[in-house]
Amino acid sequence: MSEPSEEIIGVAELDRRLKGAVEAATGREWVEGEVGSFKRAASGHVYFSLKDEREDALIDCVMYRMSAQRVRFELKDGARVQLWGKATLWAPRGRLQLVAERARPAGRGALLEALERLKARLAEEGLFDPARKRPLPVAPKLIGVVTTKVGAAFHDVRTVALRRGSVHLVLAPAQVQGEGAPESLLRALDLIERYPGLEVLIVGRGGGAAEDLAAFNDERVVRRLASTRVPVVSAVGHEIDYTLADLVADVRAATPSQAAELVVEDERARREQLQRLSGALARAMSARVAEDRVAVGRLRAKLIDPRFIIAERQQLLDELLGELERAWRRTLARRRGALEAHRGRLALQHPNQGVARARARLAPLLVRLDAALRRTQEGRARQLGLLGARLHALSPLQVLGRGYAIGMDEHGRALRRAQEVTVGQRLTLRLAEGRLEAQVTGVKLE
């Protein structure tokens, strides 16, 4: 019984076979997991692992620089992502890895991505343009507040506003988080805007997690805030929390208390400032009057009879007129001398003089031209004679003069070989003098 044949392959061939099998089985699906061991190399490539937290499974991943540059969110440890690419076997280490070409956030990351798309779209429409933001009114008396009636936000606004000045607050209660919050905010905004005499509006809530601020990122709420008839102060969240409502509002405050400080001017501080400014103005006016009195005294001491000033200016004018007359006479003398010099040079350049000189130069040139023409004519006549003699020697008529004849067919073509004619064909024979009409009676090919 014969031994079975054995195939022996190298490690490289095994790697190639495994790589082909792995690549053929992947590349048509998105893979979801959690990023770990994230590292960005100097080359721009990023290396990380993708872990399935529901099962004990992990795969090494690489995203090359050209693909990593197209990722529009932050890849980092702990991020939950979905990757599209192809699994392969990296031969130098014999390691299975996923070569990712595209990435997108999963879970909460997808919500953030949708929020960014909405933010970009609203910005493109101009809703966040600083040019459309309105200034807050000075010392308003009627302020509207849209927030929950059970939270601390309205309490903070009321406490700060009433401490700073005499204002009237109108609350339009609304649900600020959870399901139905956007609709509640829209109803409250419609209600508060119908209140007569409304001058400015504060919309906000206390702090909370990012998920609790979702109502203030709702597109309907953002567009409604952009269309209010009075300026809006947004007081949503804390200093680190920004919503689309903050971006579309005319003024953004970090907290409800700060919103009240921005809207309500501190009357006591204003009175104190007015008193300080009044005192400073009175002191400045007194000092200015004293300085002006001193200046008037100095000017009055310097003031002299204006008739003397006029006389001095008239004397200066007389001197300037004398200098002007003398300068004019000198200039006139120089111009006359220059004019005479020009006249002399012009006489030398009279056209009659130029014509005479030209005729003197032309006479010998005419003689030379006549001689040159005669020489050229004689040379060309001799050359013509020589060419005529050569042409006459080459003329076929000279050959006919020696007793030869030229045979031509009925079309006038000269015959060179006997094969060109047939028996019975009519020919013309050209002699030195006259022509002969002939008929072929025989052809000899000698």
Does the model's pTM come out above 0.85? no
Residue count (the chain): 446
CB atoms near residue 407 (< 10 Å): 17
pLDDT at 238 over 70: no
Q: Which residues is 146 bridged to in the sheet?
A: 172, 203
- What would the two tokens of residue 196 be? 């007569």
pLDDT at 385 over 90: no
Letter string b/e over residues 309-342, b meaning 16 or more CB atoms within 10 A of that residue's CB: eeeeeeeeeeeeeeeeeeeeeeeeeeeeeeeeee
- Break the chain into its structural domains and give their ranges: 11-106, 128-265, 399-437
Cα–Cα–Cα angle for 397, 398, 400, rounded to 5 degrees: 60
Percent of the chain with pLDDT over 90: 31
pLDDT at 244 over 70: yes
- 128-265 has which CATH code? 3.40.50.10550
Q: Which residues is 52 bridged to in the sheet?
A: 57
Q: What are phi and psi of 407, to 5 degrees?
A: -90, 135
**Does 136 or 361 have the greater pLDDT score?**
136
For 16, counting Cβ atoms within 10 Å of its Cβ (0-12 exposed, 13-18 middle, 19+ buried), the class is middle
**Distance between terminal CA atoms of the chain?**
96
240 close to 208: Cβ distance less than 8 angstroms: no
Domains 11-106 and 128-265 share a fold: no
In tens, the pLDDT along 297-314 reads 787 777 766 776 777 788
Grouping H, G, I as helix, E, B as strand and the rest as coil, residue 332 is helix
Strands 80-90 and 30-40, how do they pair?
antiparallel
Distance CA 202, CA 236 (A): 10
SS3 content of the chain, % helix, strand, coil (to 5): 50, 20, 30
100 closest CA partner among 149, 174, 167, 50? 50
pLDDT at 414 over 70: yes
In tens, the pLDDT along 186-237 reads 999 999 999 999 999 999 987 665 557 888 999 999 999 999 999 999 998 6
Q: Does domain 11-106 have CATH number 2.40.50.140?
A: yes
Report in angstroms the alpha-carbon separations of 151 from 244, 332, 340: 22, 101, 108
Letter string b/e over residues 419-435, b meaning 16 or more CB atoms within 10 A of that residue's CB: eeeeeeeeebebeeeee
For 79, counting Cβ atoms within 10 Å of its Cβ (0-12 exposed, 13-18 middle, 19+ buried), the class is buried
User: What is the per-residue pLDDT for 172?
Assistant: 94
Average pLDDT, the chain: 85
Distance CA 339, CA 335 (A): 6
407 close to 400: Cβ distance less than 8 angstroms: no
Q: What are phi and psi of 204, to 5 degrees?
A: -175, -170
Strands 46-52 and 95-105, how do they pair?
unpaired
**Does 276 or 263 have the greater pLDDT score?**
263
User: What is the per-residue pLDDT for 402?
Assistant: 74
If pLDDT is split at 50, 70 and 90, which confidence band does 270 have? confident
In tens, the pLDDT along 316-332 reads 888 888 899 999 899 99
User: What is the per-residue pLDDT for 286?
Assistant: 85
Residue 125 amino acid letter: E
